[in-house]
Amino acid sequence: MALLFPLLSFICGLILANSKFTISLKSILSLLLARLFIPIVIIYNMVFYKSGSIALILFAIFSCFILFFVYLKLFKDRLAALCFSYTNMAWLGFPIALAIFGSEHSMAMIPLYIGVSIFGNSWAVTSVSTEPQPIFTILKKMLQSPPVIALFMAGIIRCFDVQQFQNHIVIDWIYTLAKWCMSFAGMCVLGMWLRKTKVHIEDLQWSIRMAILKLFCGAILCGFAYYFLSIPHIENYIGVMFLLFCLPPAANIVALETHYQGTGISAKYIASGTIVSCVVCLLYGGVMHLL
């Protein structure tokens, strides 16, 4: 069921893409995903904290910056570098992680998502804007992002020792519901989005080359983390950590680009990158299930 549900949700999105309510459905599901389902999952996992989460957050932030500057050094394109480093954790990352690794180990995606979100909210605008962004503006945007707000809320809740409760069945049910809703919303929106997007051969060729480069960088960074960093339970999380480098560019990059530059060049990177990433994740999931 864990493998079929994301696929069925994606097919549902492809079907709904032809509905006259597509735009409204996409907006509502995206809003619920970003501001309700994912924050609930973050709060739950941070309240019932597992050691290693802080290290995974730092790993994600560090990895994103490394990817950004590696691409910028090689190709001198800030927008493409952002597409290379700022990945789609919400729509695609969570459903794929749940399908491949199950509920327990896939929860390493929570701190990884927080780290990528911090990078995105602090660096994305700086990358696409033609004018320098004040530090205060960057910090304000980062602190107002849903993942960071959820992180603060989890810290406040932990002060009341909720994690010590022996019976929290209702909380567990809410968390389980949020996980399934998160998977459905993410894959359904992805299906609706891809159905309406045109992709050319040249875009796919670019995305394949970038996927190979990102996987190479991911292998180095994950190998370094595994052998040289003292991250608790890293043997359980290393597979999820590598999944970070299999994912496509974040979809909100094109919105930022349109707002700050008046162009939509990143749309082709995002669309083709998503298609290639789906294939990469499928192959990666097959390999992980054979191991």
Asked if residue 123 is part of any domain, the answer here is yes
Asked if residue 177 is part of any domain, the answer here is yes
Question: What percentage of the chain carries pLDDT values higher than 90?
Answer: 40
Asked if residue 104 is part of any domain, the answer here is yes
Asked if residue 11 is part of any domain, the answer here is no
Query: In degrees to the nearest 10, what's the CA dihedral of 85, 244, 256, 9?
Result: 150
Low-confidence ranges of the chain (pLDDT < 50): none
Q: What is the pLDDT of residue 147?
A: 86
Please state, in angstroms and rounded to a whole number, the distance separating the CA atoms of residues 142 and 124.
Answer: 11
pLDDT tens track for 186-234: 888 888 888 877 888 999 999 999 999 999 999 999 999 999 988 888 9
Q: What is the pLDDT of residue 107?
A: 80
Q: What is the pLDDT of residue 268?
A: 87
How many domains are contained in the chain? 1
Asked if residue 285 is part of any domain, the answer here is yes
Range of the domain at 190: 26-290
